[in-house]
A and B are shown apart, each in its own frame.
Chain A
Amino acid sequence: MYTAITDQVDESSHPKSFFYKYIWSQDHKVIAIQYSITAICVGLVALVLSGLMRLQLGFPDSFSFIDPSSYLQFVTMHGMIMVIYLLTALLLGGFGNYLIPLMIGARDMVFPFLNMLSFWTYLLSVIVLMASFFVIGGPTGAGWTLYPPASILEGAPGASNGIVLMLISLAIFIVAFTMGGLNYVTTVLQARTKGMTLMRMPLTIWGIFVATILGLLAFPALLVSAIMMLFDKLIGTSFFMPAILSLGDSVDYSGGSPILFQHLFWFFGHPEVYIVALPAFGMVSDVISTHARKNIFGYRMMVWAIVAIGGLSFVVWAHHMYVSGMNPYFGFFFATTTLIIAVPTAIKVYNWLLTLWRGNIHLTIPMLFAIGFIFTFTHGGLTGLFLGNVVVDLPLSDTYFVVAHFHMVMGVSPIMVLFAALYHWYPKITGRMLNTGLGKIHFWGTFLGTYAIYLPMHYLGFLGVPRRYFAMGETDFIPQSAQTLNAGITISAIIVGLIQLVFIFNAIWSLFKGKMAGDNPWQATTLEWQTSQTPPVHGNWGKNVPIVYRWAYDYSVPGVKDDFIPQNVPQDEVVMLEGNTGNNGENQ
């Protein structure tokens, strides 16, 4: 007897009490919102930290509460929070949770209890991380890469307690991610509704799916390095710690290899870039297609590119370690793989542009952010080609050029997509539209502001201004004008930071006063817009789950009355233009 999993009737009990409905909830949508709010809150902490760093850099000696130690702590916590606790959690825990079941036509994740446990474990990891602000010595200031030996030796800020809490928090986060990740991949593979073949899935789901697999395979490397470093710190083993003098005294370590940590860290660290980027690639594809009223250009190529990028991301890690020293043949290998990964990435950028080309572009707020993303990602990606080459990387490594590069490519770009996605899916999540006027202020402020921050940083990098420095001091090669530029960057950063308050205000205000959205305000084709209730209720689909008859990109099909055909509309129900008996755009 063969039956689809999704044929099964909705047996999930619908909790009535507030506690079980909104707090201890197993509903993927509630868990997604919990993940998102937690991630955004902790992200705001990281935003404030970056503001404090910029204040110091722009106006040195003006703020007595920022000393070199606290500056390094701000750098470290800002980086780690943004990469792991905000971007990974929001893109996969937030959007992954919300969109996977809705977009593939499932009632929920396949393991709802595990899903709930995943969020609470994530929250625990955030609490442990935040606790490090309040322990003696404060949080770790070892840089977000936590390189030993400095990170666990006296002298580095937070070397006594902060680093321990950071490593424990990371281990807890990885447990949380694994629980969530197992859920996401299993749901995509096992709970798709009838007709939802893999190649009919929206690119959002492809991006989240492949990113989750990357996460499941990459995070163990971080877990291993965290556990081994905890052993080194707490028990006195010498996995990574060499024989070394600390503050003039020899320590008990001997023989360990710090480079080993770097390999493990970047074996996780580089796929992490794509754990963040791939869901963003997927979501931006759907936003562009929907708001340009045009099918995505080269869907299959987009899927292949996602898979290829996922695979290649595991063989490029050592390009982060050129300055650590390595066999020149290794450098050659990793430079080559790094440049190869640009090929599928460039294919994606071309396909986004070709989707826009001759599309019926609606300059909605999600679309503005999506187009903004194409700009920032192209700029960030191109500087990556510079840095992928060993000889170019050596002089530029540890300068502001690198800071500008990675902020453009994996800071600003995913954030642009996140905002595109938030403006795009907010009407489904809340039932109300976000305010367009405030959205435009938010977009232009963020887009132009981030350029004002990061474009000048490239020039500072060329000048040789080193990163991670508390203050420049007197140097021969850095002119005074560099400091003026630094002050300008700081002012831009503060403006961009403040403009995010407009978004937060918009999100809260629209929740109560926003225009009612209806079920499908963007006239989109994917399944999440076809629910009978907005916001969707527990179980998502009421009595029957939808059946899928087509791919996710039937926009502006020639001869068809509407400019979109939802995925759950069968061929014989498609309304044609009068007098048109054409083939509905088939076999174009």
Chain B
Amino acid sequence: MMKIWQTLTVKPWLTSSEGIVQSDMSTTEFIDTENNKGPGKTALKFFLAIVTLLFFLITITFLSRSQYPDFHALAGEPWLPFTKPIQLWINTACLLLASISLQTAVSLVKKQHIKSTEFAILLATFGSGCFVIGQILVWQQLSQGGFYVNSDPANSYFYLYTSLHGLHIVGGLVALALVSYQFFQDKNFIMNRKNLSLCAIYWHYLLLIWLFLFALLTATPETYKTIALICGF
């Protein structure tokens, strides 16, 4: 915060004052090419902010919509599908596996264990793939049980949230495929290591979002009511 304040209060019209000359050479202008993840990390931070906002905005509408009389939560009563969401737990484990594998890959690649890194990346891809397939299975189970996308707003939100989250995972898999391709080609080791760690951050973040969605979508009507009251809906 102080740094932003200092930046915004310099007097740029003083070309020759010593303070300015020193700040020209400050670290904001110079990039540590060894350790700084550079543009990729900056872009990823902004992208994750956008993703957060996307899910945050849907959640605001969700909480508001959950207080309308036609909203029937998917958990709470014994006959509802997410009172005991076993499949969702399995899917969560798959995504957790993917996230841990990628983190392992990042630390393995630092030690230059190439074969193990390749295995960890493949395991992450497998885990993510299982997660996406698992989510589609949940969709099937829901529709077989008569919980169609348009039959209740709670169902609609479940399909909306999971499809958007799934799309982000698929997008991540495309990025991971590109990074892995470069990695296996071994064109630029440092660059690939950085990109791999960016993938890991993205996966951890998507796991966090999923955990939030999991908690939200399997909550009981009473929980929604409490949150909505706190939010003022």
Give Cα distance in the complex from A1 to B38, angstroms. Answer: 14
Cross-chain contact A3 with B31 (CB below 8 angstroms): yes
In the bound complex, do residue B153 and residue A255 qualify as a contact, i.e. CB atoms below 8 Å apart? yes
Contact with A along B27-56 (1 / 0, CB 8 A): 111111110001100110011011001100
The reply to whether A300 and B7 form a contact with Cβ atoms under 8 Å apart is no
Would B12 and A235 count as touching, CB distance under 8 A?
A: no
Contact B9 A300 (CB under 8 A): yes
The 8 A CB mask of A540-557 against B (1 = contact, 0 = none) is: 000000001111011000
Q: How far is the CB of B194 from chain A (nearest CB, A)?
A: 13
Q: B46 contacts A182, CB within 8 Å?
A: yes
> B24 at interface (Cβ–Cβ under 8 A)?
yes
Interface string of A283-302 (1 = CB under 8 A from B): 00000000000010001100
A224 CA to B65 CA in the complex, in Å?
15
Cα–Cα distance between A300 and B17 once the two chains are bound (Å): 17
**For window 179-226 of chain A, which residues contact chain B by CB distance below 8 Å?**
181-183, 185-187, 189-192, 194-200, 213, 216-217, 220-221, 223-224
- Give B178 Cβ to nearest chain A Cβ, in Å: 11
* B114 contact set on A, CB distance < 8 A: none
Contact of A260 among B24, B65, B150 (CB under 8 A): B65
Residues of B within 8 A of A304 (CB): 8
Q: How far is the CA of A221 from the CA of B57 in the complex (A)?
A: 7
User: Could you tell me which residues of chain A, from 1 to 46, have a CB within 8 Å of some CB in chain B?
Assistant: 1-5
Q: Is A231's beta carbon under 8 Å from chain B? A: yes
Cα separation A237 to B28 with both chains bound (whole Å): 49
With A185-B42, A191-B39 known as contacts, the answer to whether A237 contacts B24 (CB < 8 A) is no
Q: Across the interface, which residues of B come within 8 angstroms of A258, CB to CB?
A: none
Contact of B14 among A189, A195, A217, A587 (CB under 8 A): A587
- In the bound complex, residues from chain B placing their C-beta under 8 Å from that of A223 are 54
Residues of A close to B150: CB separation below 8 A: 235-238, 252
List chain B residues, Cβ under 8 A from A228.
Answer: 58, 61, 160
- Given A239-B61, A255-B71, A257-B64, A551 and B39 contact (CB-CB distance below 8 Å): no
Whether B10 is near chain A, meaning CB under 8 Å from some CB there, is yes
Q: Which of B7, B8, B33, B64 contacts A3 (CB 8 A)?
A: B33
Q: Which of A1, A198, A199 contacts B33 (CB 8 A)?
A: A1
Interface check B144, CB cutoff 8 A: no
Contacts of B34 in A (CB 8 A): 1
Which residues does chain A contribute within 8 Å of B33, judged by CB atoms? 1-3
Is A455 part of the binding interface, using a Cβ–Cβ cutoff of 8 Å? Answer: no
The residues of B that contact A426 with a CB separation of less than 8 Å are none
Chain A residue nearest in CB terms to B62: A239
Q: Is the CB of B30 within 8 A of A199?
A: no
Contact of B39 among A110, A181, A231, A257 (CB under 8 A): A110
With A189-B42, A194-B24, A231-B160 known to touch, is A586 a contact of B14 (CB < 8 Å)?
A: yes
A586→B23 contact, CB < 8 A: no
Asked whether B122 is an interface residue with its Cβ less than 8 Å from the other chain, the reply is: no
Cα–Cα, bound, A181→B70 (Å): 39
Q: Distance (Å) between the CB of A226 and the closest chain B CB?
A: 12
The reply on A120 being an interface residue by CB < 8 A is: no
A587 and B16 CA atoms in complex are apart in Å by 10
Q: Confirm or deny: B185 has a beta carbon within 8 angstroms of a beta carbon on chain A.
A: no
Max count, chain A CB within 10 A of own CB: residue among B34, B38, B50: B50
Most interface-central of B28, B29, B33 (chain A CB within 10 A)? B29
Determine if A196 and B29 form an interchain contact, defined as CB atoms under 8 angstroms apart: yes
Is A239 in contact with B46, judged by CB distance below 8 angstroms?
A: no
Q: Closest CB-CB distance, B20 to chain A, in whole Å? A: 8
B46 in complex: contacting residue of A3, A110, A186, CB < 8 Å: A186
Within 8 A of A (CB), among B150-197: 150, 153, 156, 160, 164
Q: Which residue of A lies closest to B32 (CB)?
A: A2
A237 with B149, Cβ < 8 A, contacts A185-B42, A199-B10, A228-B160 known = yes
B58: chain A residues within 8 A (beta carbon): 224, 228
Q: Say whether A190 contacts B31, CB under 8 Å.
A: yes
- A571 touching B16, Cβ below 8 Å: yes
Residues of B within 8 A of A198 (CB): 7-8, 28
Residue from the list B10, B15, B53, B160 in contact with A220, Cβ < 8 A: B53
Give the residue of B29, B50, B70, B149 whose beta carbon is less than 8 angstroms from that of A4: B29
CB distance from B158 to the nearest CB of A (A): 11
A252 to B152, CA, bound (A): 12
List which A542-588 residues lie within 8 A (CB) of chain B. Answer: 548-551, 553-554, 571, 584, 586-588
User: Does B15 contact A554, Cβ atoms closer than 8 Å?
Assistant: yes
Cβ contact within 8 Å between A264 and B9: no
A111 proximity list for chain B (CB < 8 A): 39, 43
> How far apart sit A231 and B34, CA to CA, in the bound complex (Å)?
47
Once A237-B153, A255-B70 are accepted as A-B contacts, the answer to whether A5 and B31 lie under 8 Å apart by CB is yes
Is A429 in the interface zone, CB < 8 Å from B? Answer: no
Q: Which positions 45-94 of chain B face chain A at CB distance < 8 Å?
A: 46-47, 49-50, 53-54, 57-58, 61, 64-65, 68-71
Instruction: Tell whether A254 is near chain B: CB-to-CB under 8 Å.
Output: yes
Q: Which of B12, B20, B49, B68 lies in contact with A299, CB distance below 8 A?
A: B12
Asked if A239 and B65 make an inter-chain contact with CB atoms under 8 angstroms apart, the answer reads: yes
Q: Which residues of B contact A257 (CB under 8 A)?
A: 64-65, 68
Can you list 26 A-B pairs, Cβ within 8 angstroms, ordered by A?
A1-B33, A2-B27, A2-B30, A110-B39, A111-B43, A182-B46, A182-B47, A186-B39, A192-B29, A197-B10, A199-B7, A217-B49, A217-B50, A231-B149, A237-B150, A237-B156, A239-B61, A254-B70, A256-B153, A264-B61, A267-B57, A303-B8, A548-B24, A550-B12, A571-B16, A587-B17
Residues of B within 8 A of A (CB): 7-17, 20, 23-24, 26-34, 38-39, 42-43, 46-47, 49-50, 53-54, 57-58, 61, 64-65, 68-71, 149-150, 153, 156, 160, 164
Additional pairs, 16, CB under 8 Å, beyond known A1-B32, A238-B156, A307-B8: A4-B29, A4-B31, A186-B39, A190-B38, A195-B29, A199-B7, A221-B53, A236-B150, A256-B65, A264-B61, A295-B13, A300-B12, A304-B8, A551-B12, A586-B17, A587-B14
Q: Which 5 A-B pairs have the closest CB atoms?
A: A255-B70, A551-B12, A236-B150, A237-B156, A110-B39
